[in-house]
């Protein structure tokens, strides 16, 4: 037996974040339909998280077709959903304790690809537990996705969730690797299979709407200074959207802060061949005898 206290405040807050997130994910997914606005869905979900007592752990990601991650609407975005594959990736924190989840809403008619990542996640959850090598989880994911005739996205992984840290060790691969980390009781991890009908690699695109604090420091420009103060105060080390910033000249401030290496951006990640990507993700607490899924629908 380990000496982890699963009833401690930390885990209660992880569970609360997961519970809020499960409800918001399911309701947001219902709002994704042809003709609906990306910005309205994102802002509805972010608002609902706050209404339920959490805070967004990162901007709602709305990735379309070949996009795999880091896409979020800009301030005056007028994009609407078409007959596309839509991935919603949403995070919640309660006092910095995190939950992260994703679901594919397929409006494109590629339901097999959506099913592949969903079933791969189920297989991964069956395998996961204390003492399990993360490579075994990757092998379970890979086997299911390849069984459908698709490829896992190999350069995206699941990850640990820390306090105010959205990506920590261990990385959880989406393919078999020979030697990885072993899961241990008390870890909080996000497992997220990505399936594609392309070759299975993503690359960085040109667009960037999500940023995070790199370091604090002094900067002469007043606009940039005010934006930096808001970032430190409200988002700490967690990712935020340019549209969340109060400054009417937020984009210019972010450019200045990037030049000084005070913030970094997250370019949109796209499948290299321009093929479809589906995604499914849950957050789990590793227990003494398996995993507790915090983001499961209630």
Active site residues: 89, 100, 159, 167, 192, 281
**76 three-class SS:** coil
Comparing C-alpha atoms, which of 225, 206, 161, 154 is closest to residue 13? 161
**42 three-class SS:** helix
- Which residue has 């999500």 as its token pair? 210
Contact 65, 82 (CB under 8 A): no
Q: Which residues pair with 21 in a beta bridge?
A: none
Distance (Å, whole) CA 104 – CA 124: 17
Distance (Å, whole) CA 158 – CA 171: 6
Comparing C-alpha atoms, which of 69, 58, 48 is closest to residue 92? 58
Contact 164, 188 (CB under 8 A): no
Tokens of 239: 């990712």
**142 three-class SS:** helix
Q: 295 to each of 13, 61, 176, 214, how far by Cα in Å? A: 12, 17, 25, 29
| 231 contacts: CB under 8 Å, gap ≥ 6 | 211, 213, 240, 245, 263
Distance (Å, whole) CA 203 – CA 88: 19
Count CB-CB contacts under 10 A for residue 229: 11
Q: What is the DSSP letter of 286?
A: E
């Amino acid at each position: 037996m380990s000496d982890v206290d699963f009833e401690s405040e930390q885990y209660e807050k992880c569970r609360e974040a997961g519970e809020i997130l499960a409800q918001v994910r399911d309701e947001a997914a219902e709002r994704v339909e042809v003709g609906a606005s990306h910005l309205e869905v994102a802002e509805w979900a972010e608002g609902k998280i706050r209404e339920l007592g959490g805070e967004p752990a990162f901007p709602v990601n709305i990735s379309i077709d070949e996009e795999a991650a880091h896409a979020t609407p800009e301030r005056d975005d007028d994009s609407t959903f078409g007959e596309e594959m839509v991935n919603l990736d949403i995070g919640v924190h309660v006092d910095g304790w995190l939950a992260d989840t994703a679901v594919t809403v397929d409006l494109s008619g590629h339901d097999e690809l959506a099913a592949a990542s969903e079933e791969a996640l189920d297989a991964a959850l069956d395998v996961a537990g204390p003492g399990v090598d993360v490579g075994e989880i990757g092998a379970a994911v890979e086997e299911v996705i390849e069984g459908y005739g698709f490829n896992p996205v190999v350069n995206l992984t699941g990850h640990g969730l820390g306090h105010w840290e959205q990506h920590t060790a261990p990385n959880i691969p989406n393919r078999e690797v020979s030697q990885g980390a072993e899961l241990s009781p008390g870890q909080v991890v996000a497992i997220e299979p990505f399936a594609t009908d392309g070759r299975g690699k993503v690359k960085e695109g040109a667009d960037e709407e999500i940023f995070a604090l790199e370091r604090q420091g002094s900067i002469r420009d007043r606009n940039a200074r005010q934006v930096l103060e808001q970032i430190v105060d409200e988002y700490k080390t967690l990712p935020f959207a340019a549209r969340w910033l109060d400054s009417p000249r937020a984009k210019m401030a972010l450019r200045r802060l990037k030049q000084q290496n005070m913030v970094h951006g997250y370019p949109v990640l796209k499948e290299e061949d321009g093929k479809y990507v589906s995604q499914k993700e849950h957050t789990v607490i590793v227990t003494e005898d398996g995993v507790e899924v915090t983001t499961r629908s209630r």
